[in-house]
Amino acid sequence: MSEMKKIKNLKEFSTSADRFEGANLLCPGCAHSIIVREVLNATNDDLVLSASTGCLEVCTAVYPYTSWDASWIHIGFENGSTAVAGAEAMYNALKKKGRLKQPERNPKFISFAGDGASYDIGFQWISGCFERGHNIMHVVLDNEVYANTGGQRSSSTPIGGSNTTTPAGTHSYGEKQNKKDMMAIMAAHGGPYVAQVSPNKWKDMVKKIQHGFSVDGPVFINAASQCCTEWKFDPKDTMHLADLSTDTLAWPLYEIIDGKELNITYRPKNVIPVEEYLAAQGRFKHLFKDEYKYLIKEWQERVDSNWAYLNRREEARV
């Protein structure tokens, strides 16, 4: 059981038996469950899962139903990662004492959380897990907003986004702070593997998840989760938005090994102007008014300089 599941192509992948069930209450077109499926199907091993408070948690555990076919726990907004880390510590202790009933099984410990529960509220707890070096994986479903509670800004919300607590209007263009660079922060913790993924690049995602399972130590996965409700686009366009985010480099795909070695894992053949990514979402529509158009230019400059930075990091190997 402990050897890695072989997934050569999508046809082979499609023989997986899903361990996440339908009739959950996520919005139609929500990218959360696409990401969860891609993560869970990447392994055949047993799973110990947690979800911090957020869309995923409230929509998959509505009494009397559960959508999870594996051990699953939810405690609070902040401590999903710590709950899984505790389970991992107990597993290791029992293993050491020889008290596991099925020692040949090799469970995977995964904690799911939204950007609110990772970038803001649960940050200290994830930081603690990384510092203690638990063998867990923390997956962020980053939809750049507190979507569950009605669209308040989080520290992951990018500049210019109109949210309920930072609405755009005559006096404001919306969110004024830039998105927190969570990847760099987690890499600085010295974890063995930190990676950014997007659901449209499933093969890249599965490769990174499996690499995350194979390393010993805490793994941080930052997944772009397109939110049709709060980003204001048609539910059918979820994958189109994901394609735009990776091809405009607004969401570059890369990994950082041991906090140092940075590898860019996807280089778009034709880089699209970031304007197209912004234009596809209702939350940025005010940026196309004359008085706020300068922000689009700033967006492009920010994306370009970030891409240049990533390329230089990749070259320098430091």
Partner 1 sequence: MANTGWDEFEIGAMLRSFDGKIDDIAGTLQEDRAYSQNNSFVASVADWRIEKPVFNKDFCIDCQFCWIYCPDISIISRDKKMIGVDMDHCKGCGICVEVCPTNPKSLLMFPEHADEEAELAKWPEKDEEKK
Closer CB to partner 1, 38 or 144, in the complex = 38
Closer CB to partner 1, 34 or 117, in the complex = 34
Lateral strand order in the sheet of 137-142: 71-73, 47-51, 108-114, 137-142, 219-224, 193-197, 254-257, 261-264
DSSP conformation class of 254: E
Element of type H or E holding 47? strand 47-51
Closer CB to partner 1, 72 or 91, in the complex = 72
Interacting residues toward partner 1 by CB under 8 A: 10-26, 28-34, 37-38, 43-45, 60, 62-70, 199-200, 202, 234-240
Closer CB to partner 1, 155 or 198, in the complex = 198
Minimum CB distance to partner 1, residue 305 (Å): 32
* Separation CA 269–CA 124 (nearest Å): 38
Closer CB to partner 1, 8 or 96, in the complex = 8
Measured between alpha carbons, how far apart are the two ends of the chain, in Å?
36
If you write DSSP's letter for every residue of 107-127 in order, what string do you get? -EEEEEEESIIIIITTHHHHH
Whats the size of the chain, residue-wise?
318
Under 8 Å CB-to-CB from 59, ≥6 apart: which residues? 24, 25, 26, 32, 67
The residue among 292, 222, 231, 216 whose CA lies nearest residue 254 is: 222
Closer CB to partner 1, 45 or 261, in the complex = 45
Is residue 317 exposed (0-12), middle (13-18) or buried (19+ Cβ within 10 Å)? exposed
Closer CB to partner 1, 24 or 163, in the complex = 24
* Separation CA 84–CA 80 (nearest Å): 6
Element of type H or E holding 223? strand 219-224
Minimum CB distance to partner 1, residue 39 (Å): 12
At residue 205, what are phi and psi to the nearest 5 degrees? -65, -50
Minimum CB distance to partner 1, residue 113 (Å): 18
Under 8 Å CB-to-CB from 140, ≥6 apart: which residues? 113, 114, 115, 118, 119, 182, 220, 221, 222, 223
Minimum CB distance to partner 1, residue 5 (Å): 9
* HSE toward the beta carbon, residue 229, CA cutoff 13 A: 18
Minimum CB distance to partner 1, residue 160 (Å): 26
Closer CB to partner 1, 219 or 241, in the complex = 241
Closer CB to partner 1, 35 or 145, in the complex = 35
Minimum CB distance to partner 1, residue 300 (Å): 27
Minimum CB distance to partner 1, residue 282 (Å): 17
Over its C-alpha atoms, the chain yields an Rg (Å, rounded) of 19
Minimum CB distance to partner 1, residue 254 (Å): 22
Minimum CB distance to partner 1, residue 79 (Å): 21
